[in-house]
A = this chain, B = another copy of it.
Amino acid sequence: MDWKNILRSHIERKVDLADEQFDYIASFFKPMSFRKKDKLIRPGEPVHFEYFVLNGCLSTYVINDQQKTHILQFAMRTWWASDYNALYNQGQASLHVDCVSDAEVLCLANEDREKLCRELHSMESFFRWRSNGGYVSLQRRILSLLNNDAQSRYEELMQQYPELYNLVPKHLIAAYLGVSRETLSRFQSH
């Protein structure tokens, strides 16, 4: 499936678009290819884009002063990723975004999203819907961190996204769950 179809059917999960409307929208998205470990956003640098994943997997994370990594999000096909705090507020990135595997993405500049939202009420509606969905799923993650032990968080994640098991190295899954790689490894054994 070509990227315009992937994008169009993604947006049309929420709003219907005429062909000319979609072509106009698509004109703001720039397809790009990246290799495993390529960096899309580095802390300290300004953030101009958000990324829509066509293929492969990105991760969004921080590295703390003790050099420990904490992963906010893995982004796979039809997911979005950026340092939204920096993007929305024209600030410097505090997050890393890079490629867990080779990846194809669409880049959308912050000002182009805002322009689309201004010009097309349906796009404003789409992006509100996307943000609402993200909010609800972060709430779920917080409750899971507060309520469940590491093993059940791991089982929950593997059950919801089984493809992560082979796509993402275990120490990154540990960094997402908030558990050490050693402890995660002991879960698998039995």
Interface residues of A (CB under 8 A from B): 62, 64, 68, 70, 72, 84-85, 88, 117, 121, 124-125, 127-128, 131-132, 134-136, 138-143, 145-147, 178
Query: Which of the residues B62, B131, B142, B147 comes within 8 Å of A135, measured between beta carbons?
Result: B131
Q: How many copies does the complex hold?
A: 2
Partner of A143, one of B72, B127, B135, B146: B72
Q: Is the CB of B143 within 8 A of A62?
A: yes
- Which B residues are CB-close (under 8 A) to A139? 72, 84-85, 138
Q: Interface on chain A toward B: helix, strand, loop, or mixed SS?
A: helix
Instruction: Please judge, given known A-B contacts A131-B131, A138-B138, whether A146 and B88 are in contact too, CB under 8 Å.
Output: no
B141 near A142: Cβ-Cβ < 8 Å: yes
B-side contacts of A62, CB under 8 Å = 143, 147
Q: How far is the CA of A146 from the CA of B136 in the complex (A)?
A: 19
Complex Cα–Cα for A58 and B36 (A): 45
Ranked 5 nearest A-B pairs via Cβ:
A138-B138, A128-B128, A131-B131, A70-B146, A146-B178
Whether A138 contacts B142 in the complex (CB less than 8 A), given A117-B125, A124-B125, A147-B70, comes out as yes
Knowing that A117-B125, A138-B142 touch, tell me 15 more A-B residue pairs with CB under 8 angstroms. Answer: A62-B147, A68-B147, A70-B143, A70-B147, A85-B140, A124-B124, A127-B128, A131-B131, A134-B135, A138-B138, A138-B139, A142-B142, A145-B145, A145-B146, A146-B178
Q: Measured between C-beta atoms, what is the minimum distance from A9 to chain B in Å?
A: 21
Query: Please, which residues of chain B bring their CB within 8 A of the CB of A117?
Result: 125, 128
Enumerate chain B residues within 8 angstroms of A85, measured Cβ to Cβ. 136, 139-140
| Residues of chain B contacted by A143 (CB below 8 angstroms) | 62, 70, 72
Bound together, the chains give a CA A124 to CA B14 distance in angstroms of 14
